[in-house]
Amino acid sequence: MLFTLVLATQVSENEFGLFGIAWSLVMLVESVFWAVLGQPTPAVAARLPTSRAPEVYGALYRISLRWSVFSLAVCFLAAAPLTLIDRSLASTIASAGLAAFALRIQQVFKRIFYQHEMRGYALASAIIFALALAISTTAVLSLGWRTAWGALLAWTFALACAALVGLSVPELRTPPSQRVERYFQARSLRVGSPLILSSLLYWASTSSMLLLGGILISLEASGSLRLLQLLLMPLQQGLTVATTILTPPLARQLIKNPAEETRFILYAVGGFTTAASIYALLLGTLGTLVVQSFLTEKYHLITAPAVGLMCIAAILEAARTGAAAIFLARGDTKPILRGWIIASAVLVVGLSLARPISDFLTLPAILLASTAGATLIVLFEASRRLRV
């Protein structure tokens, strides 16, 4: 987060806004990959003998690598003709493809580290990422690449360095048997197919606002919204790590003792919401101060009300994530999909009612309404499973 704040001080508002849009598209690619391959993995692995776990994660790595190469080729093919029209835009698209490739491999190893309780490797990967990002950000700024594609290259380098930790652990690249690979792929597609649409709807309900802000208001609005999301990133990453760690044991426990589901739901929702509330309280108090301290002459669109709306949305998202972790552990992803269908519907209605959009505060307000819709649906589905 710190290095992105530094980057925001060194590039123009428009370039940072373009970087935010490009990164949102990178996250779209990653969310689709992770929906169909990563999220179903704990539920799939729980149904196989523990001795087969290395093969399952080996299958995850191999399939991810194939699709990452394919997505990278698509980005390069899309960028090639654009070099004749706009080299900067072509460079941004090609750099986004490289970032998506590096992020995919890094995320595979990161999730495996946590699911296998390889905390030392996870810590080493995080430290290497931070150091590499510091080096690459300094290099990009020193070379005068104060552009969206320069920022994407800095992140690509850092992600690739972090991924090297996983590549150095041979057991994480165990070649799976054909039987295990076919089972993993078929089961993941079955469990993850609803999550593809869910991930697309999630992206539409959250990150698409970066794109819409750039189109409907200005690239500065996209950059400001990206900074607000950046302030919430430590919380989101913490919840993601917690979900990744908790899901495999939850899946095993629910298979052995389904009656424990009520206790797990209450603990997950209550714990995640409490953590998010504490973080939101600190951010609501210090958020605008941080922005004003780092960016004294930029991003005047970030105000206390905007930070407050994003904090409320973060608390609701934490409650949804806690309930969703139980559904993921059970391999039941349809409630999550229904939540994001409602969120997307709220987004469309909000955009329709707010037209024409000229006020930046409208963007976090619509995001809040969309998140509330998804959270209410998932919590309602979870409440139906409670046993008093």
- The one-letter amino acid at 340: W
Q: What is the mean pLDDT of residues 79-84?
A: 83
Confidence bin at 131 (pLDDT 50/70/90): very high
**Separation of alpha carbons 300 and 292, rounded Å:** 8
What's the pTM value of the predicted model, to 2 decimals?
0.74
Dihedral-angle region of residue 303 (phi above 0 means left; psi in -120 to 50 means alpha; beta otherwise)? beta
Q: What is the pLDDT of residues 368-387, one digit of tens each?
A: 999 999 999 999 988 887 76
Most confident of 115-119, 193-197, 201-205, 346-350: 346-350
Q: Please report the sign of the dihedral spanned by the C-alpha atoms of residue 294, residue 298, residue 303, residue 306.
A: negative
Confidence bin at 154 (pLDDT 50/70/90): very high
First-to-last alpha carbon distance for the chain, in angstroms, is: 42
Check residue 13 and give its pLDDT: 78
Q: What is the pLDDT of residues 216-264, one digit of tens each?
A: 888 888 888 888 888 888 898 888 888 878 887 888 887 787 777 788 8
Question: Does the pLDDT value for residue 2 go beyond 90?
Answer: no
- What contacts 223, CB < 8 A, 6 or more positions away? 8, 13, 14, 16, 17, 19, 20, 299
Check residue 293 and give its pLDDT: 67
DSSP string, 224-267: HHHHHHHHTHHHHHHHHHHHHHHHHHHHHHHHH-GGGHHHHHHH
CB atoms within 10 A of CB 318: 25
Confidence bin at 359 (pLDDT 50/70/90): confident
Percentage of the residues of the chain whose pLDDT score is greater than 90: 14
